Structure 1
Amino acid sequence: MLLIPDLIKKKRDGAVLSDEDIGAFIQAVTKKNIQECQTGAMLMAIWQKGMVATETETLTREMMSSGDVMSWPTEWAGLVVDKHSTGGVGDKVSLVMAPALAACGCKVPMISGRGLAHTGGTLDKLESIPGFNIHQSAEQILQILSSVGCCIVGQTEMLVPADRVLYSLRDATSTVDSLPLITASILSKKGAESLFALVLDVKFGRAALYKDLDSAKELAQGLMDVGNSLGIRTAAILSSMDGTIGRCVGNSLEVIEALQALKGNGPEDLMELVTTLGAVLLLMTGQASDLSEGRKHISEAVASRRALSKFQAMMEAQGVAAETARALCSPDTDYYSILHKSAHQTELQTPEDGVVLDVDGLVLAGVLQKLGAGRSKVGEAVNHSVGAEMLVSLGQRVRKGVPWLRLHYEDPAPTLDQINQLQKALVLGTNESTETQQKHTLVRELLLPR
Structure 2
Amino acid sequence: MIHPVDLIERKRNGEELPADELAEFVLAYARDEVPEYQMAAWCMAVYFKGLTPAETLALTDAMVRSGETVALGAAIGRKVVDKHSTGGVGDKTSIAVGPIVAACGVPLGKMSGRGLGHTGGTLDKLESIPGFRVELTTEEMIAQLRDVGVAIVGQSANLVPADKKLYALRDVTATVDIVPLIASSIMSKKLAAGGDAVVLDIKVGDGAWMKTLEDARVLAHEMLDLGLRAGMEVTCLLTDMDQPLGRAIGNALEIREAIDTVRGAGPDDFTELVLDASARLLAYSDLGIDVDEGRRRAETAVADGSAYATYERWIRAQGGDPDPHALPEAPVRLAVTAPRDGVVARLGALAVGVAVLELGAGRWTTTDTIDLAVGAVCFAKRGDTVLAGDDLAEVHARDEASAQVAVDAILAAYTIADAAPAARGIVLEVIS
TM over 0.5: yes
Name the counterpart of 1:24: 24
Give me the whole-angstrom Cα distance separating, in 2, the residues matched to 1:74 and 1:209: 34
Q: Does 1:442 align with 2:426?
A: yes
Q: Does 1:101 align with 2:101?
A: yes
Name the counterpart of 2:414: 426
CA contact (8 A) 2:359 2:403 kept: no
Deviation (angstroms), 1:298: 1.1
Give me the whole-angstrom Cα distance separating, in 2, the residues matched to 1:79 and 1:100: 16
CA contact (8 A) 1:104 1:297 kept: yes
Kindly provide the amino acid, as one letter, of the partner of residue 346 in structure 1: L
- Spell out, residue by residue over 1:133-175, the C-alpha distance to the aligned partner (whole angstroms, 9 max, x if none): 1111111111111111111111101111111111211111111
Kindly provide the amino acid, as one letter, of the partner of residue 245 in structure 2: I
- Spell out, residue by residue over 1:291-349, the C-alpha distance to the aligned partner (whole angstroms, 9 max, x if none): 221111111112222222222222122122xxx33x34xxxxxx2xx222112111111
Deviation (angstroms), 1:14: 1.8
CA contact (8 A) 2:97 2:274 kept: yes
Name the counterpart of 1:208: 208
Kindly provide the amino acid, as one letter, of the partner of residue 291 in structure 2: L
Alpha-carbon spacing, 1:191–1:341, altered in 2? closer, same or farther (3 Å): same
Name the counterpart of 1:354: 342
Give me the whole-angstrom Cα distance separating, in 2, the residues matched to 1:203 and 1:170: 20
Kindly provide the amino acid, as one letter, of the partner of residue 424 in structure 1: A
**SS in structure 1 at match of 2:120:** coil
Name the counterpart of 1:117: 117
CA contact (8 A) 1:78 1:196 kept: no
Kindly provide the amino acid, as one letter, of the partner of residue 22 in structure 1: L
Deviation (angstroms), 1:392: 2.2
Deviation (angstroms), 1:74: 4.3
CA contact (8 A) 2:248 2:377 kept: yes
Give me the whole-angstrom Cα distance separating, in 1, the residues matched to 2:226 and 2:74: 25
**SS in structure 2 at match of 1:413:** helix
Structure-to-structure mapping, 1:232-381, within 5 angstroms: 232-285=232-285, 287=287, 289-320=289-320, 324-325=321-322, 327-328=323-324, 335=325, 338-381=326-369
Kindly provide the amino acid, as one letter, of the partner of residue 123 in structure 2: L
Structure-to-structure mapping, 1:82-161, within 5 angstroms: 82-161=82-161
Q: Does 1:399 align with 2:399?
A: no
Give me the whole-angstrom Cα distance separating, in 1, the residues matched to 2:286 and 2:37: 47
Deviation (angstroms), 1:101: 1.1
TM-score (norm 1): 0.92
**SS in structure 1 at match of 2:372:** coil
**SS in structure 2 at match of 1:356:** strand
Kindly provide the amino acid, as one letter, of the partner of residue 155 in structure 1: Q
Kindly provide the amino acid, as one letter, of the partner of residue 236 in structure 1: C
Kindly provide the amino acid, as one letter, of the partner of residue 18 in structure 2: S
**SS in structure 1 at match of 2:264:** helix
Give me the whole-angstrom Cα distance separating, in 2, the residues matched to 1:123 and 1:132: 10
Alpha-carbon spacing, 1:77–1:235, altered in 2? closer, same or farther (3 Å): farther
Give me the whole-angstrom Cα distance separating, in 1, the residues matched to 2:82 and 2:166: 23
CA contact (8 A) 2:396 2:403 kept: no
Number of equivalenced pairs: 432
Alpha-carbon spacing, 1:143–1:19, altered in 2? closer, same or farther (3 Å): same
- Spell out, residue by residue over 1:13-62, the C-alpha distance to the aligned partner (whole angstroms, 9 max, x if none): 22211122122122112222222222222222222211000000111111
Unaligned runs of 5+ in 2: none
Deviation (angstroms), 1:97: 0.2
Identify the range of structure 1 (233-242 vs 423-432) with the bigger mean alpha-carbon deviation: 423-432
Identify the range of structure 1 (25-34 vs 173-182) with the bigger mean alpha-carbon deviation: 25-34
Identity over aligned pairs, percent? 38
Alpha-carbon spacing, 1:413–1:3, altered in 2? closer, same or farther (3 Å): same
Give me the whole-angstrom Cα distance separating, in 2, the residues matched to 1:418 and 1:45: 40
Kindly provide the amino acid, as one letter, of the partner of residue 150 in structure 1: V
Deviation (angstroms), 1:412: 7.0
Deviation (angstroms), 1:378: 2.1
CA contact (8 A) 1:207 1:361 kept: yes
CA contact (8 A) 2:359 2:406 kept: no
Give me the whole-angstrom Cα distance separating, in 1, the residues matched to 2:75 and 2:366: 39
CA contact (8 A) 1:86 1:203 kept: yes
CA contact (8 A) 2:81 2:108 kept: yes
Give me the whole-angstrom Cα distance separating, in 2, the residues matched to 1:158 and 1:250: 29
CA contact (8 A) 1:104 1:301 kept: yes
Structure-to-structure mapping, 1:210-225, within 5 angstroms: 210-225=210-225
Kindly provide the amino acid, as one letter, of the partner of residue 421 in structure 1: A
Give me the whole-angstrom Cα distance separating, in 1, the residues matched to 2:131 and 2:404: 36
Aligned CA-pair RMSD: 1.8
**SS in structure 1 at match of 2:214:** helix
CA contact (8 A) 2:73 2:195 kept: no
Deviation (angstroms), 1:375: 1.0
TM-score (norm 2): 0.95
Give me the whole-angstrom Cα distance separating, in 2, the residues matched to 1:319 and 1:339: 14
Give me the whole-angstrom Cα distance separating, in 2, the residues matched to 1:34 and 1:180: 21
CA contact (8 A) 1:349 1:401 kept: yes
Kindly provide the amino acid, as one letter, of the partner of residue 67 in structure 2: G
- Spell out, residue by residue over 1:188-228, the C-alpha distance to the aligned partner (whole angstroms, 9 max, x if none): 11101222211111111111111111111111111101111
**SS in structure 2 at match of 1:375:** coil
Give me the whole-angstrom Cα distance separating, in 2, the residues matched to 1:144 and 1:136: 10
Name the counterpart of 1:332: none
Deviation (angstroms), 1:286: 5.3
Deviation (angstroms), 1:425: 1.1
CA contact (8 A) 2:95 2:258 kept: yes
CA contact (8 A) 1:279 1:288 kept: no
Alpha-carbon spacing, 1:385–1:8, altered in 2? closer, same or farther (3 Å): same
